[in-house]
Structure 1
Amino acid sequence: MGLFINVLIDILGSIGWLLVLMVAIVFAFAHALLILLRTSTSNPSGATNPFTSISSSLMTLWAFLGGDFAAIDGWDAGSSLDLMRVIFSFVTTIVLLNVLIAILNNVFTASQDRAQKTWIRNRAEFIAIVEEFFLTAEQRQNGNWFPSIVFYEIDAEKFEQYNESVKMRHAWNKAEIEVGDETEKEV
């Protein structure tokens, strides 16, 4: 349950700007359709006009996000309505929702990695607490319980990634030292 909550918090934190952008786009299109269709006399089949107020216009646009364009199917407002439908579909459905899916995937993967590292660290801390407070000195010296050599298996790709990160950190620290030495020489 804790992993799910952490992933959910990470997702909400990273997609906030995208949701604000999506709400702004929906509001802009709702307002544009309100202006375009609120006084239209070509309302099909005598149905009520959903574009008479901003709230009903927003609800209609919410349905548009799911691909339900039934509210404007019978309108004869010219090419401007068709152009707005195409632009809205492209911007929201194709671009923004696919960006949202990609962001969710990246955040979920990063959260999974961080959760695994946190779980390992918490487990190590728990073992250290157990060893420190619940074992006697004789039990801590037992070679069967605490071997002098510990084997750690790692995937070759992860080893290469770790090796590269160590090299990058070492190069960074070396650059800092060199800059520091040059500064000392100049002074």
Structure 2
Amino acid sequence: MPTKLATFSTLFLEIKFLLYFRAIEFSGDFFSMILGVAKRGFSFLLILGFIVVAFAHSLHLLLRPASSVSLEYPSYSNDPNDPWNLATKYNTIDPNGTIEDNSSLIEPPTATTNMFMLMGSAIAAVYIMLTGNTDPISYWDLDNNRTLLILALVFSFVASTYLMNLFIGLLTNAITETKTREASLILRAEVLEEIELLYMLPYQRRKENWFPFVIFYECHTVKLREHVMDILKDKWAGYKKPFISKNLNEVLLLPDEQPSLKQIESKITDKTEDKFREQRILKEIEKIIKEMPTQKDLKELKDLIEFLKTNKQ
């Protein structure tokens, strides 16, 4: 068996063995915390990965040799990105202390001398730079390569300083917001579901002493009603949204169907229109009342009629 396959097989086997402890209460809380925080930070890591690939591609185009080179045979060129020109040189010094430029010793370059020759090694170099290590670009003179200097400064600020500190803050918030006990119980439910589906035979699933057909729970009716209302309003944050039966709705006196936002708005609009209509009717009644004759006017009219009758006689 090849050594590489044995290496990865051993790694995956030990990780698989470690995952068996996620159902134990002693370590289940930590497993649920690790998995929950990893799910929340996955999208951020994906964005960070795209940024690393973008900078790696830019540095690969900037620092790759102009022609193909070999790390075993020297190439005599003036290309500043050639690994043989980037390799460390040792000059001899005569007894007078003068450095002899005519003869020099060159340390053979390695694959890490110019990691930006290939796209794969360029991604690895940028990932190393993400930790604050500038060795991949230490072979170039930044004073004479302003483009490399600008890219290094931008990457250092954007990725190493800003995004990494932001990522640490997001992980801290995710750990704080994660309800460890609930997450542990949800993880245990997932393990039980996996066992039932993948490791049990059909006759074992039909055992009533293992899986009873009816399970009785004791709970407070008011709290249960609030809990069910939250589920119906899509506020369920658990493993899987439970099914609320019609019988449970009847027991808890819940409405068959929750009103939608449009229905609520239409009811509010109807009530507002009815209120305006009532106010308009009241104003018309007040106007009619004001126009009606008062008791004083009726008395004057009666006196006038008596006066006319007297004059006729």
TM-score (norm 2): 0.37
Alignment of 1:20-39 (within 5 A): 20-39=46-65
What amino acid sits opposite 1:14 in the alignment? R
Tell me: CA distance 1:81–1:6, structure 2 relative to 1, closer, same or farther (3 Å).
same
Please point out which of 137, 147, 154 is paired with 1:72. Answer: 137
What amino acid sits opposite 1:182 in the alignment? I
Please point out which of 34, 47, 53 is paired with 2:109. Answer: 47
Please point out which of 105, 119, 122 is paired with 1:57. Answer: 122
* Aligned mates of 1:105, 1:64 — CA distance in 2: 23
Question: What corresponds to 1:182 in structure 2?
Answer: 268
Question: What corresponds to 2:153 in structure 1?
Answer: 86
* Aligned mates of 1:70, 1:115 — CA distance in 2: 41
* Aligned mates of 1:33, 1:183 — CA distance in 2: 62
Q: 1:85: Cα distance to partner?
A: 1.0
How big is the alpha-carbon RMSD for the aligned residues of Structure 1 and Structure 2? 3.4
* Aligned mates of 1:118, 1:181 — CA distance in 2: 41
Deviations 1:85-119 (A, max 9, x none): 111111111111111111111111111xx235678
* Aligned mates of 1:44, 1:83 — CA distance in 2: 23
Alignment of 1:5-154 (within 5 A): 5-39=31-65, 40-41=81-82, 43-45=86-88, 47-48=109-110, 49-76=114-141, 78-111=145-178, 114-116=179-181
> Would you say how many aligned residue pairs link Structure 1 and Structure 2?
136
* Aligned mates of 1:23, 1:31 — CA distance in 2: 12
Preserved contact between residue 44 and residue 75 of structure 1 (Cα < 8 Å):
no
Gaps of 5+ in 1: 120-128, 133-177
Q: 1:38: Cα distance to partner?
A: 0.7
Q: 1:55: Cα distance to partner?
A: 1.2
Preserved contact between residue 34 and residue 53 of structure 1 (Cα < 8 Å):
yes
Tell me: CA distance 1:184–1:65, structure 2 relative to 1, closer, same or farther (3 Å).
same
Tell me: CA distance 1:31–1:184, structure 2 relative to 1, closer, same or farther (3 Å).
same
Higher helix share: 1
* Aligned mates of 2:171, 2:42 — CA distance in 1: 12
Preserved contact between residue 30 and residue 54 of structure 1 (Cα < 8 Å):
yes
Q: Percent identity?
A: 29
* Aligned mates of 1:103, 1:72 — CA distance in 2: 30
Preserved contact between residue 26 and residue 58 of structure 1 (Cα < 8 Å):
yes
Gaps of 5+ in 2: 1-26, 66-80, 89-107, 185-214, 219-263, 275-313
Q: 1:43: Cα distance to partner?
A: 2.3
Q: 1:182: Cα distance to partner?
A: 2.7
Question: What corresponds to 1:123 in structure 2?
Answer: none
TM-score (norm 1): 0.60
* Aligned mates of 1:55, 1:181 — CA distance in 2: 63
* Aligned mates of 2:165, 2:267 — CA distance in 1: 50
